[in-house]
Structure 1
Amino acid sequence: MELQKLSNGSHNGEFAPLEDGFMAEQEEFLPHKSDGKKKTQFTDFEGKTSFGMSVFNLSNAIMGSGILGLSYAMSNTGIILFLILLTSIAVLSSYSVHLLLKSAGVVGIRAYEQLGKRAFGNPGKLLAAVVITMHNIGAMSSYLFIVKYELPLVIQAFLGKHSISGEWFLNGNYLIIIVSICVILPLALMRQLGYLGYTSGFSLTCMVFFLCSVIYKKFNIPCPFETFSNSSINTTSHDECEWKTFTVNQQTAYTVPILAFAFVCHPEVLPIYTELRNPTKRRMQSIANVSILGMFVMYLLTAIFGYLTFYGNVEAELLHTYSKVDPLDKLILCVRVAVLMAVTLTVPVVLFPIRRALLQLLFPDKPFHWVRHISIALCLLFVVNLLVIFVPNIRDIFGIIGATSAPSLIFILPGLFYIRIVPTEQEPLRSKTKIQAACFTALGFIFMTMSLTFIVLDWITGEKRSGGAH
């Protein structure tokens, strides 16, 4: 699937603009009805992936484990403020894809790393590749962490065991190795990302089941309710069963970065664009808009119904809250299985852009070769498994990665690429569109500064609370 060489007289990584590149730039951010004429922008790769499969893959790239924490985020903002923030981030994410596609259309490049090279030379290419690799390794690790800690509990529940004993099949470290070899690796060895549309569709179906269960539980769990923890029973009060429209507390500041990270899909946009059948910017923008809108609806419904079930008692991990109310609930057990399958099937989709970035960085002029294709997948899974197994507290490491890579991929790099790549003859630096792109980039730096500040403050207050003990 990897894009190695472009036509139109490309030499040593340099790319000539397409004849219809400037005309194509007139396409709008929100697609409208076309005139029925198909314009071929790229001749480097004959894509075969359908519109629907592309939507499944991009939606699966957007959907992450962060959906489990959205109800908690809503409890710290209130329904109205959460809706405003979620809508704003979704629109900004779609606009970011728009900037990427316009930049790609001008120069005929559908590789994030090559856009970086066209904008800033080899340093830009290296920066893009490093950011994508860091972010997606962090995402893969977070998914496998869920497998490591949730799968033993699911197996334990199915076996009817009350505690995890010394059996090897209840050891999370062994389980992630087995899952990586038996499920993730075969899918990651596929040559084209488009083939994963079927598994992405199944993964999204699992998350739809999760959403339906959250909605059902809203009408099945009355408030006040009892919670079970440490062999004790606690009962909530009627005062805790009131929803809030707008609230601000110490945790509210974390909501914006959380929501921004929930819509990161940009490393996958151009690889999906590469394999799209009949590729045009309008068609790819439609895929992005449909995917982001679908995830927006799922995020909003999950947050609302989860919050209206537990109100101020909702915890950072929604499924854990359900388990405290009814530890033996069979439906929640099934939901846990569905979430495990969903995050497992997302790992191969996230792995493809990393391999593409490494190929662009290390072997930019080499044709496709199965040995490189397989070797990079094996090495990536090996590194991620080592991280998940041997790093006891990986939250801070991935906190730093997320605070720097997510704003870079959504805001900073697309804005900078657009400003540098689109010719000044077409759009001067003081044009409305480039000023918007500059403001968009500045917003990314603000998000990055906020996120890093919150992480540092959390480290400081965490050390005070724990007294230095782990």
Structure 2
Amino acid sequence: MKAADDILVPEFNSPQRKSTVVVAAFNLTATIMGGGVLSIPYAYSKSGIIVGSLLMIVAAIITERSLYLLCLCSRLTGAATYGEVGEAAFGKNMEYFISLILGIFLMFAITGYMVLAKDIWTALVTIIGRFDETTPPSDTFVLGVTILLIIPFLVQKSLYALRFNCYVSFSSVSILCLALIHQAWTTLSPTTMVWSNNDVLWWSTNFEDVLLAFPIISLSFVGIFNVLPIQNALFKPTRSRILLAVDGSILSCFVFAQLFGLSGYLYAGKQVDGNVLKNCDPASDPFLFLGQFCCGITVVLVIPMMLLPCRSSLLEVLDVLVYGPHQTPVELEESERLPLIIADAKSIKTNNNYDSTATTTTTIGQNQQQLQQNGHETKSSCPNNTRRFKTHIIDNTFIHYTSTLVIIFTCYMIAIHVPGVADVWSILGCSMGFLISFILPSVCYLKIQKRYPDHTLESKAWVWFSWILLVTSSFALVACTTETIIQLM
């Protein structure tokens, strides 16, 4: 299929598309960069500088390819969300499965950010409150108070109030990175240069340690949830422009993560913690204190941002379990049905040179009639963002508050018993991280590509890449998950 035949939601020239390539790349970069970078120095201490850098390159490349692969799936089918891509490939059950996996994944992520919030704010409260280092405040109490303070954000149904949080996150983590670089530079004196320091691990000969490091490194590039919304907002969203935005974002994240990992490891050495901030002393460095303070605010504000999609995903699955699959489609406007009609018209090859920006009402009606004659259902596969189905649970106010309480309480109870955030990132990265970021996009593309065959060299290359990514990531999922469980036990 040629790029001119791509199905875009909203359409190519829609006034809703206002983001430039630079803005799109920055937004994707800001949403990818988060608390996961605080554990990269720990991953380097396990794998070594050379092996860790190679793992970072591999993670960046396959993540970049996987993000663009999901964009191709969206453009071939007109799907506007990750769940819709799964539905276009395998039907409604796959959409529900993706919702369940995303919900569980985000619960783990919320737990990880709670662990970070507990560590960061306990250290800051100790400094600000001038507590004795031998009797610091209870981290369980500090985390509980922190969660109580953000309850107004947790119960929101819209995150409009936090729309600038990604910029705060980027700025605060950047300050931390600069502070760590400064600390590493001052720590390594001329007599203990990197290349002459015997305490520096260049490469690890322990394969088990490499299996522990790679999930943490790959998790620092996870942005699969955000790439389709960013593509949907891009002005003139040609394939080359969305690819440029994705490449710019991943390259920025790679440079930033590499600097953060190296500086954090060289500063803390073999004693580096799963959260590198535990190795820092913000009381002795105002610059480091500022970075940790900003990072603490960011970590706390990320929790409600992750809670909303987590809650929506889990409630959608619960709604299906209680009431069964949704069978009552909401009547849609003609403009909302257009992407679906175009997609299905292409699948039955009634209009090979269809132009979505110049379609008339007569053509829509003819295509819809042709689809019905061929047994295609046009209402049951509309985009998720049009509220296709009437739900019973999701819009219930009591369920909304109760589910919020259950999710937060569950994550809180796990967070206070987890010894370190690296354990959370390891489990998250090696299991659901590989599944969501690599396996599902490749499987969906292989299925969708058969319905929209294109015998160009580019299409064949993507098919081969999808098979290689599917096989290698499946192997990595089993190997890394097994090793992580063994280490935890």
Same-fold status (TM-score > 0.5): yes
Alignment partner, residue 463 of structure 1 = none
- Equivalent in the alignment of 1:178: 148
Alignment of 1:452 with 2:481, yes or no, is yes
TM superposition shift of 1:308: 2.4
Aligned to 1:393: 417
CA drift of 1:59 comes to 2.0
**1:96 is paired with a residue of what secondary structure?**
helix
User: Is 1:102 paired with 2:80?
Assistant: no
Task: Within 5 Å, give how 1:13-412 maps onto structure 2.
Answer: 22-24=1-3, 41-43=8-10, 47-48=16-17, 50-51=19-20, 52-162=22-132, 171-182=141-152, 189-190=158-159, 196=162, 198-222=164-188, 242-249=199-206, 250-323=208-281, 328-351=284-307, 353-354=309-310, 357=313, 365=329, 372=395, 378=401, 381-391=404-414, 392-394=416-418, 400-412=427-439
Hey, what's the Cα distance between the residues in 1 that align with 2:460 and 2:137? 65
Tell me the SS of whatever aligns to 1:220.
helix
Distance 1:275 1:55 in 2: 12
Against the structure 1 CA distance between its residues 97 and 168, is the aligned structure 2 distance closer, same or farther, given a 3 Å change threshold?
closer
User: In the alignment, is the contact (CA less than 8 A) between 1:257 and 1:451 conserved in 2?
Assistant: yes
> Which amino acid is 1:292 matched to?
I
Name the structure 1 match of 2:467.
438
Q: 1:421 aligns with which of 425, 448, 464?
A: 448
CA distance in 1, matches of 2:76, 2:398: 34
1:267 aligns to what SS in structure 2?
coil
Quote the offset at 1:91 in angstroms: 0.8
Query: 2-side partners of 1:387 and 1:443: how far apart?
Result: 33
Residue 319 of structure 1 aligns to a residue whose secondary structure is: helix
Classify the secondary structure of the residue corresponding to 2:47. coil
Q: For 1:328-364, what per-residue CA distance to the aligned partner results, in whole angstroms no more than 9, with x for missing partners? A: 4444332321221222333344345435645876579
**Structure 2 CA distance, aligned partners of 1:440 and 1:271?**
24
For the residue of structure 1 that corresponds to 2:186, the secondary structure is coil
Tell me, yes or no, if the aligned pair for 2:46 and 2:212 is still in contact at 8 Å: no
State the shift of 1:141 in Å: 2.0
Listed one character per residue, the Cα deviations across residues 276-331 of structure 1 (whole Å, up to 9, x for unaligned) are: 444444333333222211111111001112222233333332121223xx864444
SS of residue matched to 2:36? helix
Displacement of 1:171 in angstroms is 2.0
Check whether the contact 1:189–1:373 (CA below 8 A) recurs between aligned residues. no
| Per-residue Cα deviation, 1:93-120 (whole angstroms, up to 9, x for no partner) | 0100111011111111111111111111
Relative to structure 1, the CA distance from residue 252 to residue 400 in structure 2 (aligned partners, 3 Å threshold; closer, same or farther) is closer
Tell me by how many angstroms 1:240 deviates.
Answer: 5.9
Q: Sort the Cα spacing of 1:263 and 1:305 in 2 relative to 1 into closer, same or farther, 3 A.
A: same
Note closer, same or farther for the CA distance 1:357–1:56 as it changes in structure 2 (3 Å cut): farther
Aligned in 2, Cα 1:375/1:303: closer, same or farther, shift over 3 Å? farther
Query: For structure 2, which runs of at least 5 residues remain unmatched after alignment?
Result: 320-325, 331-385
State the TM-score, normalizing by the size of structure 2.
0.72
| Identical-pair percentage | 20
* Counterpart-to-counterpart distance in 1, 2:109 and 2:433: 11
Deviations 1:386-416 (A, max 9, x none): 0233234357787555432111111110001
